[in-house]
Amino acid sequence: MPQAAADPNNLPYADGDFFGFEQLLSAAERERLQEIRDFLAKEIKPIAVDCWNRGEFPMELIPKLAAANLVSPVRRQGWSNVFAGIVHAEFTRADASIATFMGVHDGLFTGSIEALASDEQKAAWLPDIYALKKIGAFGLTEPLGGSDVAGGTRTTAVRDGDNWILNGAKRWIGNATFSDWVVIYARDVADNQVKAFLVDTTLAGYTATKIENKISLRTVQNADITLENVVVPDAFKLAGGNSFRDTNKVLKVTRLAVAWQAVGLQLAAFDVARRYAVERQQFGRPLASFQLIQDQLVKMLGNATASMGMMVRLSQLEDLGQAKDEQSALAKAFTTARMRETVAMGRSVLGGNGIVTDYEMAKIFADAEAIYSYEGTYEINTLVTGRAITGVSAIV
């Protein structure tokens, strides 16, 4: 006979960590993780759905994020990549949009400075970046160039004495409507190599226009950027950003971070679906008492657990300095594909309530579509992995 509904907060495995991956963290890391979870529960979860519905970014959150000291947990603070990955998953679990804001500022933008700037440039720029006194964006994707931007960057850079003149356009640039700086990747017409520049968004000729009508990550302020004869001093060209191979140093790590987001969004879907199934009554008994509902919940947990296991191992390899581009590519492709399955099952568990943001699942379902596409599409990451296992490239 079916059991009565239980307290969803006191059930075993309510945290979704079915195989106890967090036990791999040090005691200090587990303590810090709990502090961050408390911050997310207090400052982000209560406002997430409303901001998403309105399509507005909560600017008042930035000082709170700064006070929480969250930027550059590995390079600057010395935490492990496993810890940093779980934290990024937890941010996404609370809200994928704020996690994406952090991923852009901390991963793509700060990562570009940390990986490609000279020591002198880092000393001048990183303190304000770490303190969120300067908000950053990352300008690589273009209106006509996404997956092929490595060999087809249309934004140009021309050396003019002690300056560079940038012309072109970028698209889907997160944070760009309010960022102070943006790293722009542009093709040097002299040698046809992609180079990196730190651009002050107040410079003449720089404009950023918000992209409207999104159905995913609505809180994130994505923008179209135009650069019309923007003059950038040579001192603001990133010293180590001289080819797309250099750019890939940043993307390998951030692709890993996006795969962690796929873990976090699956856990978010599991959270909502599990609670709903336990609390919702149908035919006079808990929804969770029906076998087909339990089947979907278990499949959701299995997808999330498999994805998390892959990401823990990849993060361990990153800590050892052994992670490869193709491993990040496989992780991004696999986890985001599982994520799509998981959020779809979660939406199904909620029935009609799964299509309104009041119950959060509709937001989770929609946000998965952006995570599935950015930092390399499923198809491109599959081909990168396929090239590694066959020795034959299927990319034109």
Contacts of 152 (CB under 8 A, 6+ apart): 144, 145
CATH topology of domain 246-390: Butyryl-CoA Dehydrogenase, subunit A; domain 3 (1.20.140)
pLDDT above 70: residue 333: yes
Is-contact 167 228, C-beta < 8 A? yes
pLDDT band at 4 (very low <50, low <70, confident <90, very high): low
What is the pLDDT of the chain when averaged over all its residues?
94
What would the pLDDT profile of 138-183 be if each residue is shown by its tens digit? 999 999 877 677 667 899 999 999 999 999 999 999 999 999 999 9
The superfamily in CATH containing domain 21-130 is: Acyl-CoA dehydrogenase/oxidase, N-terminal domain (1.10.540.10)
Contacts of 206 (CB under 8 A, 6+ apart): 199, 200, 225, 226, 227, 230
Q: From CA 298, how far away is CA 304, in angstroms rounded?
A: 10
Q: What percent of the chain has pLDDT over 70?
A: 97
The superfamily in CATH containing domain 136-244 is: Butyryl-CoA Dehydrogenase, subunit A, domain 2 (2.40.110.10)
Buried b (16+ CB within 10 A) or exposed e, 330-369: bbbbbbbbbbbebbebbbbbbeeebeebebbbbbbbbbbb
Instruction: Please report the pLDDT score of residue 248 as a whole number.
Output: 83
- Classify residue 40 by its DSSP letter: I
Across residues 56-62, what is the average pLDDT? 97
308: its two tokens: 């998390």
Across residues 29-49, what is the average pLDDT? 97
Instruction: Please report the pLDDT score of residue 207 as a whole number.
Output: 98
pTM for the full model? 0.94
What would the pLDDT profile of 257-284 be if each residue is shown by its tens digit? 999 999 999 999 999 999 999 999 999 9
- Asked, colleague to colleague, whether 21-130 and 246-390 share their fold, the answer is no
